[in-house]
Amino acid sequence: MELAPQAPDAGAVRSQINKLEYQRDKQAEQLRVPALLEGAWKGLMGFGGGNRSDLRFYQWKDGRVSVELLTGWNANPGVAIDPQRLHVDIEGQKVQFSFRSRLIVPGVLTDSFDIRFELNIVDPKHLRGAIYSNGYHVQDVSLKKQP
C-alpha cells in the first residue's frame, strides 16, 4: 500500500488489511478480558435468603473462565448455598454466569431456583450489574477488584 497506493487492487488490499486488523483486535480483547477478571472481587451480594461478599474468577489454560462464590455470611442461620465452580460467558465487556441453587434451612425442604449474574466491566477495577433469581431482578451489584 505504501509503494503503490493507487494500484488497481488497492481497495481490495485495504479491505483485507481492515479485516486482519479487526481479527487481531478481537483476539486481543478475548485475551484481555479473562486476564482482567482473574482474581478476587468483593461486594455485598444477596440472593436465596443469604449473602455472599466475594467472587473469585479463574482463567484456564484453554482460555475458559470460571468463577467461585467465596466467603460470605448469612443473615439467617442455617441458610447456605453450595460452593461450586461455574462457567463464565464473556461477550465484549459483559460477563454472565448462572447456577441452580437450593435454599437450605434445617428441617425444611425448599425448592431449587436459578441464580444468574449479569455484570459489565466498568473499568479494570469495577464490575457492575445485577443478580436475577428465576428470571426476576433481585439486586444491583457493584464489585471491586481485590489486590
pLDDT band at 69 (very low <50, low <70, confident <90, very high): confident
Global pTM reads 0.67
Q: Give the pLDDT confidence score for residue 129 in this predicted structure.
A: 94
Level-2 CATH architecture, domain 35-145: Beta Barrel (2.40)
d(CA 17, CA 55): 40
Q: Where are the domains of the chain?
A: 35-145
CB 10 within 8 A of CB 17: no
CB 108 within 8 A of CB 101: no
Tens-place pLDDT, residues 22-58:
887 776 665 667 788 888 888 888 765 566 777 888 8
**Cell numbers standing for residue 9:** 487492487
Tens-place pLDDT, residues 9-23:
988 988 988 888 888
Q: Which amino acid, residue 59?
A: Q
